[in-house]
Structures are given as C-alpha cells and as structure tokens.
Homo-oligomer: A and B are copies of this chain.
Amino acid sequence: MLDDRKLAVLRAIVEDYVSTNEPVGSKALAERHNLNVSPATIRNDMAVLEEQGYIAQPHTSAGRVPTDKGYRLFVDRLSQVKPLSSAERRAIETFLVGAVDLDDVVTRTVRLLAQLTRQVAVVQYPTLTRSTVRHVELVPLSERRVMLVLITNTGRVEQRVIELHEVADDARIAHLRAVLNACLDGCGLSSVPELVADLPERVPAEDRPMAATILSVLLETLVERHDEKIVFAGAANLAGADFSSGLRDVLEALEEQVVLMRLLGETSPDTPAALTVRIGSENPYSGLRGTSIVATGYGSGDRQLARLGVLGPTRMDYPVTMGAVRAVARYVSQILAAS
C-alpha cells in the first residue's frame, strides 16, 4: 500500500515541515533530500499520501503539511529516538546534582526539561500511594493541637494540624507515636488503612478517642492527596508557536491539575519505561488540539512512581524531544534511587 519511497517522502515532509514551519512542496523535497526521483514522481506519491490521510494541503496550490495521522506514522515507524549530545548529558548532571530535597529535585527537573526541549515541561510528584512509610511523627503544638507529619521513602512530607477534643500530654502522644511507627514503618501507603484498622484497640482505653481523631486525619491525608501534585515550567516557550485553538486554551489547560494528569496518562504496566506520545487530536482535551505530549514514567528501580513529559506544538521534533524526555527520566530515577 505504501511502498518504501512513499514512506521516505512522508519522513522527508515531516522533517522539512518541522524545521521550516512551512508547507513543503514537491520541488523543494526533490532538491533537499536525495530521493533520486523527479518532483513529478514525488507529486504522485504525495497525492497517494494525501488520499490516505497522512498529509494535507492548507489550501489548493500550497505545499503539504503532515496530519496527526502522518505524525503518528512517523513516530511509530519512520523515526528513531535521538540520543542526547554529550554536552546535554553533562548539562543534565550538573543541573540535577546538588538538589537538597524532593521539592528541589522536582523543580530542577521540570526546568531542566523545559530548557532542554525548549517546550513546556510537566512533572508529576512521586505518587503517594505507591511509596512506603518511612516515619510518622506527632508533634504537640499546644494542649489541644498536634501536628501529624508523614514522611515517605520518596522524601515526600505531608503535614496536618489536628485539633483534639481533649488535652493530650506529651507522654500519651509519644506512646501513640511509638505504636504508629511500630505498626507502619516501611509499609506501603496503600496498606495503611488495613494496618491501622485495629489500632485503637491496642492503646489504653482513655486514649482511644484521641487515637481515632488522629487516625481519621491520617487516612484523610492519604485519600485527599490522591489527586497528585503536578508542576510545569517553560510556558514562555509557547509564546512563539501558534496554536489552532489559541494560546489561551493551552495555558488554561496547563493550570488545570486534572487535565495535566490525564495528559501525562498512565504508565502501562507491562513496559513501564516506554515513551507515550499523544499527537494532536489523540489527546483527551479539546483545548489541546494542536499540541502533542511526549511522556514517560520515572521512579527508582523497577517501581514507577510518577510521570513526566513535555508538551509542545504537534509540529515538534519528535526524535529529539523523545530523547530528552527519556534521558531526563532516567537521570531523575537514578537520583531518587540514590537518596
């Protein structure tokens, strides 16, 4: 159906269009790429490609532009992820080394990725649910108030101030803390609810109301933060590009956690480190026709903790972008594994 030369033509169209941002015509193609055929032949191929929906012309007698379907074929079969230059690798290292805490890692990562790809970078904070409890701390603030601090193995820290209905002295708090830690230390967050289910029964009767209050806040914390935190950077890189749906829609989407969440997508369980590419209309949000997302999972070792990626115009350099996303994801995974 599509012989090798037609595929080569499609590849050439995508490459030229990405680099020039102008519809590409048969003559230019014949010159710039050594396809060893005449423009007329290319025109015939183009007619076929157009008929099949891989390319389109903005108007009669203009060059051709790849369609979403065309980019899809290009990404799937006609391109190879481009590895980073050694200079870029060094940049990544120097940029990420020296991050002091999780916040810092995420912030640096998102900026790095934005700078590297010259597009908008999006990074999801490591998921709470898949991490494990490293420590639970109860800090008495005043007679009737304690602060609950939950530290996970990914370095994430959640805190809540809890109002108690009774006065709680330090000793009782300390005891409860000990019980909590004994019970939860090292356990996965998802198993916390069952683990603490019978906990009130294991404390002195007079402490049970307090324990119940604290537990309910703890469980609430786990649930509430299920909608994960996501940050982005590099919005300035959108300024040059023009989107079919207006820049405004894109910026609005970026500020909607929920939308971003769905954009990054889910890590496929079988190939966790695979790159996900969503092109134009493939993505689930109407304001983002005209943009593509390249994303992947990251996390220490075999555990995928969260996802990161970039968002840019459909007309983007996929091989380079995919290379950068993959490389950054690997480095961040290393950093997280080491800490």
Contact = CB atoms under 8 A, between A and B. Distances in A.
B239 A247 contact: yes
B235 A255 contact: yes
A137 interface: yes
Interface string A86-116: 0000000000000011000000000100000
Nearest to A103: B229
Given A157-B159, A159-B101, A251 B224 contact: no
Contacts of A155: 159, 161
Nearest to A135: B139
Interface in A61-88: none
Interface string A125-167: 0000000001101010100000101010001011111000000
A252 B224 contact: no
Interface string A149-187: 101000101111100000000000000000000000000
A161 B233 CA distance: 26
B161 A157 contact: no
B161 A339 contact: yes
A151 B139 contact: yes
Nearest to A159: B157
A141 B137 contact: no
Contacts of A233: 255
A251 B235 CA distance: 6
B149 A137 contact: yes
B161 A151 contact: no
A137 B134 contact: no
A58 interface: no
A157 B149 contact: yes
A147 B111 CA distance: 26
Interface residues of A, number: 34
A94 B236 CA distance: 32
A229 to B, nearest CB: 8
A247 B251 CA distance: 12
Contacts of A284: none
B147 A149 contact: no
Contacts of A134: 139, 141, 147
A234 interface: yes
Contact of A100 (B141, B160, B238): B160
Contacts of A269: none
Nearest to A181: B139
Contact of A147 (B135, B159, B161, B247): B135
Contacts of A161: 101, 155, 339
29 contacts: A101-B158, A101-B161, A134-B139, A134-B141, A134-B147, A135-B139, A135-B147, A137-B137, A137-B149, A147-B151, A149-B151, A149-B157, A155-B159, A155-B161, A157-B157, A157-B159, A233-B255, A234-B255, A235-B235, A235-B255, A236-B248, A236-B249, A236-B251, A236-B252, A236-B254, A236-B255, A238-B251, A239-B246, A239-B248
Given A137-B139, A149-B149, A235-B255, 5 more contacts: A149-B157, A151-B159, A234-B255, A236-B251, A239-B248
4 pairs of A and B residues whose beta carbons are closest in the complex: A239-B248, A236-B251, A236-B252, A135-B139
